[in-house]
């Protein structure tokens, strides 16, 4: 089963952190990646730029309409994700509990297309 761990941070958080805090956060994610490798979990992940730099397409009467910002305005920014392979949602939660947490983590199963 493939699961996305969607990482959220307080809106504007990364604009306010020091280089020291940024380094510590990156070290936490490096440690989490080591944990996943040591456990033999297949994974990938990326960090996102702030929501203020996002662009969305929304349905319009004549087709998609571009809009600045995230699709759903939130008080948190979707900051990044890990995509992990696991047996079930219980294992996904166990893994997510080891992931560095900002404002929260959403554990979302991924639809996998059949061949």
Determine the pLDDT at residue 27. Answer: 96
Determine the pLDDT at residue 69. Answer: 63
Determine the pLDDT at residue 34. Answer: 97
**DSSP sequence for 81-104:** EEEEE-SSHHHHHHHHTTS--SSE
Determine the pLDDT at residue 97. Answer: 93
Q: Does 50 map to a domain?
A: yes
Q: Residue 32: give its domain's CATH number.
A: 3.30.70.1060
Regions of the chain with pLDDT less than 70? 69-74, 115
Determine the pLDDT at residue 44. Answer: 96
Determine the pLDDT at residue 54. Answer: 77
Domain count, the chain: 1
Q: Residue 76: exposed, middle, or buried by beta-carbon count in 10 A (0-12, 13-18, 19+)?
A: middle
Determine the pLDDT at residue 55. Answer: 76
Q: Does 89 map to a domain?
A: yes
Per the structure block, which two tokens stand in for 87?
A: 């047996």
Determine the structural domain holding residue 9 and report its residue range: 2-109
Determine the pLDDT at residue 64. Answer: 83
Helices marked H in the chain — which ranges? 13-16, 19-39, 89-96
Q: Does 115 map to a domain?
A: no
Determine the pLDDT at residue 14. Answer: 81
Determine the pLDDT at residue 115. Answer: 62
**10 Å Cβ neighbour count for 111?**
5
Residue of 47, 102, 45, 100 whose CA lies nearest to 76: 102
């Amino acid at each position: 089963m493939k699961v996305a761990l969607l990482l959220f941070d307080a809106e504007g958080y990364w604009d306010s952190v020091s280089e020291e805090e940024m380094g510590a956060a990156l070290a936490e994610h490096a440690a989490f990646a080591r944990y996943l490798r040591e456990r033999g979990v297949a994974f990938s992940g990326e960090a996102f730029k702030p929501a203020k730099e996002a662009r969305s397409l929304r349905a319009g009467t004549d087709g998609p309409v571009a809009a600045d910002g995230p699709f759903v305005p939130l008080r948190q920014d979707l900051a990044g994700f890990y995509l992990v392979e696991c047996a079930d949602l219980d294992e996904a939660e166990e893994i997510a509990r080891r992931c560095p947490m900002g404002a929260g983590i959403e554990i979302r199963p991924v639809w996998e297309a059949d061949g």
